[in-house]
Amino acid sequence: MRFSTAAAAAIVAIASSVSSVNGFTVSSSSLSSFTSSSANNFVRRAANPRAYTQTSSSSSLNMSATPLNVGIVGATGAVGKEIVGVLEKRSFPVANLRIFGSERSAGKNVETKFGSVTVELFSEDAARECDVVFLAVDGDFSLAHAENICAGNDGAVVIDNSSAFRYKEGIPLVVPEINAEATKGKKLIANPNCTTAIGLMAVWPLHKLFGLKKMVMSTYQAASGAGQPGMDELMEGTRSVLSGERAVAENKIFAHPLPFNVIPHIDKFQDNGYTKEEMKVTWETRKICGLPDDFPVSCTAVRIPTSRAHSESIVALFDKPVDIAAARKALEEAPGVKLVDDIDNLKYPMPLTATGQYDVEVGRLRKNIAFDNALEFFVVGDQLLRGAALNAVVVAEAMVENGALQAKVAV
Amino acid sequence: MRFSTAAAAAIVAIASSVSSVNGFTVSSSSLSSFTSSSANNFVRRAANPRAYTQTSSSSSLNMSATPLNVGIVGATGAVGKEIVGVLEKRSFPVANLRIFGSERSAGKNVETKFGSVTVELFSEDAARECDVVFLAVDGDFSLAHAENICAGNDGAVVIDNSSAFRYKEGIPLVVPEINAEATKGKKLIANPNCTTAIGLMAVWPLHKLFGLKKMVMSTYQAASGAGQPGMDELMEGTRSVLSGERAVAENKIFAHPLPFNVIPHIDKFQDNGYTKEEMKVTWETRKICGLPDDFPVSCTAVRIPTSRAHSESIVALFDKPVDIAAARKALEEAPGVKLVDDIDNLKYPMPLTATGQYDVEVGRLRKNIAFDNALEFFVVGDQLLRGAALNAVVVAEAMVENGALQAKVAV
């Protein structure tokens, strides 16, 4: 076997339950590149989170001095669970963790590193008592409550994982390694679509070098994009087909059966023939990277039978001539990115290796042969981590660093 | 369930064994569009093969008058089995079917519509006695024997499924719906790479309309590209992971475990960073479509956990302005293509529906928003049929039509 214990743990998690990914093994090799003193600690943590969790409290962020009251709404869903896990592993300075849910989950206990937490029935007033609230719920819930939770000087900072506020002017849409500064002085932050966040981790360092001109993406998206029910449907459906119990797997979550299939349809169709998932990549790339409103990005978004890591084939056209060595160096140095591009040793990005990892894997880097000044590459990232939970927590860390998120003075 | 009996049969075949696909149900609806009198019968058969197999012998090809001695080398492999099935279903005029194999398979009996066939030990002399020989073996075997089998006036026509002769000058590389005329007067024909053949079925009608300028492709390739052992490895591996027997599936055929994974690597790496599979799409598109030697085509080829249908996301740039209505009409009328593009009813190309079908499914057709005069679309085709066996048999049919393949006069 070519895979490490950590990778094996990840694939077990793929096949059984997502929760075991929370316990992934820390590789000692990742410790070597860690430096404790940095003005950009949050970026460094994103680049090498596994290393960070192994360091002593003395080398944690400045914010260790200001523990925060943290709330999570939707903590029993796939993304919510991962947020708890990321807060734990990154030693986020949690004074008190509160978990809010519906009547169905209120009263249940969730065991965390911060103690046993009893799920409270959600109310805006209770959420407002927190310093920061992570919303891991649907867009309708966010639309109804997010602005009320953060309103006024005594409201909480809200980091919203839904698409409700992503395209609203004045509300920052943030991948912290790209535009953390957009959070300054803000109280409501939108977390981007998973596909966009994962892809831009690779595209941004190259854009800084060569100047992005156009982008074409094709995606290979995991079942986890539809949450835990999506992952369950894939696994149960695969089981039912392999056992001969069913000729074709049942589908309730996806538009068609996903096992051994490919579904070129994610989210609603738009008037231009693209899906909303595809247009999110276009819209969010423009906003996050500060590009013009008509900046040319196109995407084909496809659901495939993998569990929780999205893959993306990207052709990026640039203004300036491209240089592979410079591109590799930029990717190697980019926080949150792991260059996995050693074809002699069959190393390239794969869900098998990227699952459960904070870093987005980038590889298959080559000069595109159909366009001048263009690169072609392959990106794989954990949909629930960089695509959701990790990004949200790193946003919060960035806001602690720049003062946008502070412990409230007791009233 | 949204799927027909035929589709259900296909997915059962996906999950268990490929052989049962040979018995797929004929849909009565496909009979309606069949017309028996045509100068281009072979093209019509390619367009609507299921209909054709249901017609009486009176409506079969002109060649029914000249039954042929047909040989297959490698008939026990995944592609070879499909060639037997396609010959049966398309009522290819077989006077006598001979199957050649290695010492391991010689002496075994294969039951076919043409009678019970005992596998003969391969020899060039025996193969030369046939009128046409399909080679479903590896490139080394083809290199050693193909030219000897077809040499001289008394040799057999050889249709080779390997990559051995695809790029050799003077040897036609043929997708019959595109360049059947290249077979005229030839005795050795190369069958294209599966990915290229499937993609070009959609690209060619659009190229005729708008003039192809550049093409970018990302593939979603099935395990069957590595033959029956590849399909078996996917199924067994998936089973072993789901049962908890293994943390990560075993891999012998693929470079990494395929179940619930994505592998952005098919065939050998080239000096330019592309794989040979990716470059095949570039090289073969140029040759089959008669485009210049430097015509710009790029591809990212990716193996995913599906069984036997390849999917492709394609962005095609054209010289002329594109028109969606005209493009749809051209695809609707193109032989061998089925436009599956009714997003209101969630109809688009998928392995689930394209498996076991002769037609390549094309859908998600839209104007690309990143380039002028460009279309974006999704193509799915059965890798073993259009990607191999069907294409080879339709080549033979085209050669019967144009006189390149005739029954030899007894000596």
State whether A216 and B15 contact (CB < 8 Å). no
Average pLDDT over residues B58-76: 72
Closest CA to B363 of B376, B377, B344: B377
State whether A350 and B263 contact (CB < 8 Å). yes
Q: Please tell me the predicted confidence (pLDDT) of residue B358.
A: 97
Nearest CB to B313 within list A244, A302, A365:
A302
Q: Would you place residue A216 in the very low, low, confident or very high pLDDT band (cuts 50, 70, 90)?
A: very high
Q: Would you place residue A303 in the very low, low, confident or very high pLDDT band (cuts 50, 70, 90)?
A: very high
Say yes or no: do domains B18-192+388-401 and B196-383 share a fold.
Answer: no
Q: Please tell me the predicted confidence (pLDDT) of residue A409.
A: 75
Asked whether the predicted pLDDT for residue A81 surpasses 80, the reply is: yes
Q: Residue A95 and residue B377: Cα distance in Å, rounded?
A: 51
State whether B15 and A244 contact (CB < 8 Å). yes
> What does the mean pLDDT of chain A come to?
87
CATH architecture of A5-192+388-401: 3-Layer(aba) Sandwich (3.40)
State the smallest CA–CA distance between residue B365 and chain A in angstroms.
Answer: 7
Nearest CB to A262 within list B3, B273, B350:
B350
Cα dist from B108 to A108, B17, B135, whole Å? 65, 20, 19
List pLDDT tens digits, range A172-185.
999 999 999 999 99
SS3 of B160, please? strand
State whether B248 and A371 contact (CB < 8 Å). no
pTM of the predicted protein model: 0.87
Q: Could you give phi then psi for residue B238, rounded to 5 degrees?
A: -60, -45
State the smallest CA–CA distance between residue B231 and chain A in angstroms.
Answer: 11
List pLDDT tens digits, range B332-347.
999 999 999 999 999 9
In chain A, residues with a C-beta closer than 8 Å to the C-beta of B376 are 298, 300
Closest CA to A261 of B14, B261, B225: B14
Asked whether the predicted pLDDT for residue A75 surpasses 90, the reply is: no
Nearest CB to B216 within list A3, A307, A315:
A315
Secondary structure of chain A in HEC code, one letter for each residue = CCCCHHHHHHHHHHHCCHHHHHHCCCCHHHHCCCCCCCCCHHHHHHHCHHHHHCCCHHHCCHHHHCCEEEEEECCCCHHHHHHHHHHHHCCCCEEEEEEEECCCCCCCEEEECCEEEECEECCHHHHHCCCEEEECCCHHHHHHHHHHHHCCCCCCEEEECCCCCCCCCCCCECCHHHHHHHHCCCCEEECCCHHHHHHHHHHHHHHHHHCEEEEEEEEEECHHHHHHHHHHHHHHHHHHHHCCCCCCCCCCCCCCCCCCCCECCCCCECCCCCEHHHHHHHHHHHHHHCCCCCCCEEEECCECCCCCEEEEEEEEEECCCCCHHHHHHHHHHCCCEEECCEHHHCECCCHHHHCCCCCEEEEEEEECCCCCCEEEEEEEEECCHHHHHHHHHHHHHHHHHCCCCCCCCCC
List pLDDT tens digits, range B367-410.
999 999 999 999 999 999 999 999 999 999 999 999 999 998 76
State whether B248 and A1 contact (CB < 8 Å). yes
- Which of B212, B240, B246, B260 to mutate: most A Cβ within 10 Å? B260
Average pLDDT over residues A352-381: 98
In chain A, residues with a C-beta closer than 8 Å to the C-beta of B214 are 370-371
Asked whether the predicted pLDDT for residue A71 surpasses 70, the reply is: yes
> What does the mean pLDDT of chain B come to?
87
Residue B75 · residue B83 · CB < 8 Å: yes
Q: Which amino acid is at A360?
A: V
Q: Which residue of B has its CA nearest to A298?
A: B370
Nearest CB to B272 within list A8, A257, A366:
A366
List pLDDT tens digits, range A122-179.
999 999 999 999 999 999 999 999 999 999 999 999 999 999 999 999 999 999 999 9
**Domain boundary assignment for chain A:** 5-192+388-401, 196-383
State whether B220 and A304 contact (CB < 8 Å). yes
Q: Which residue of B has its CA nearest to A275?
A: B364
Whether B194 is catalytic is yes
- Asked if A370 has any chain B CB less than 8 Å from its own CB, the reply is yes
State percent of chain B over pLDDT 90: 82
- Asked if A5 has any chain B CB less than 8 Å from its own CB, the reply is no
Average pLDDT over residues A387-408: 96
State whether A12 and B274 contact (CB < 8 Å). no
3-state percent helix, strand, coil for chain B, nearest multiple of 5 = 40, 20, 40
CB contacts < 8 A, A to B, total 215
Q: Could you give phi then psi for residue B51, rounded to 5 degrees?
A: -65, -45
Q: By mean pLDDT, which of A56-65, B225-234, B373-382 is the weakest?
A: A56-65
Q: Name the pairing type of β-strands B374-382 and A309-318.
A: unpaired
In CATH, the number for domain B18-192+388-401 is 3.40.50.720
Nearest CB to A242 within list B8, B242, B369:
B242
List pLDDT tens digits, range A246-302.
999 999 999 999 999 999 999 999 999 999 999 999 999 999 999 999 999 999 999
What residues of A are labeled active site?
A: 194, 310
- Asked if A311 has any chain B CB less than 8 Å from its own CB, the reply is yes
Q: Please tell me the predicted confidence (pLDDT) of residue A12.
A: 35
Average pLDDT over residues A206-213: 98
Residue A172 · residue A180 · CB < 8 Å: no
Cα-only R_g, chain B: 20
Closest CA to A365 of A382, A353, A347: A347
Asked whether the predicted pLDDT for residue B13 surpasses 90, the reply is: no
Average pLDDT over residues B222-235: 96
State whether B311 and A297 contact (CB < 8 Å). no
Q: Which residue of B has its CA nearest to A295?
A: B370
Average pLDDT over residues B211-237: 97
Asked whether the predicted pLDDT for residue A407 surpasses 70, the reply is: yes
Complex ipTM more than 0.95, yes or no: no
State whether B262 and A220 contact (CB < 8 Å). yes
Asked whether the predicted pLDDT for residue A390 surpasses 60, the reply is: yes
Q: Please tell me the predicted confidence (pLDDT) of residue B37.
A: 31
Average pLDDT over residues A59-80: 78
State whether B260 and A297 contact (CB < 8 Å). no
Q: Please tell me the predicted confidence (pLDDT) of residue B409.
A: 75
Q: By mean pLDDT, which of A230-244, B35-49, B54-68 is the weakest?
A: B35-49
Nearest CB to A378 within list B12, B264, B298:
B264
Asked whether the predicted pLDDT for residue A22 surpasses 50, the reply is: no
- Which of A262, A350, A352, A378 to mutate: most B Cβ within 10 Å? A262
Q: Please tell me the predicted confidence (pLDDT) of residue B122.
A: 97
- Asked if B298 has any chain A CB less than 8 Å from its own CB, the reply is yes
- Which of A218, A252, A317, A355 to mutate: most B Cβ within 10 Å? A218
- State the number of CA atoms in the 13 A half-sphere of B300 facing the CB: 31
State whether A264 and B300 contact (CB < 8 Å). no
Q: Which residue of A has its CA nearest to B353?
A: A261
In chain B, residues with a C-beta closer than 8 Å to the C-beta of A239 are 242
Asked whether the predicted pLDDT for residue A101 surpasses 60, the reply is: yes
Q: Please tell me the predicted confidence (pLDDT) of residue A410.
A: 61
- Which of A198, A248, A378 to mutate: most B Cβ within 10 Å? A248
CATH number among 3.40.50.1950, 3.40.50.720, 3.30.360.10, 2.130.10.10, domain B196-383: 3.30.360.10
Q: If 0-12 CB within 10 Å is exposed, 13-18 middle and 19+ buried, where does residue B259 land?
A: buried
Q: Please tell me the predicted confidence (pLDDT) of residue A327.
A: 98
Nearest CB to B260 within list A1, A274, A305:
A305
Q: Which of B130, B145, B150, B194 is catalytic?
A: B194
State the smallest CA–CA distance between residue A303 and chain B in angstroms.
Answer: 11
- Asked if B260 has any chain A CB less than 8 Å from its own CB, the reply is yes
State whether A248 and B364 contact (CB < 8 Å). no
Nearest CB to B11 within list A248, A265, A348:
A248
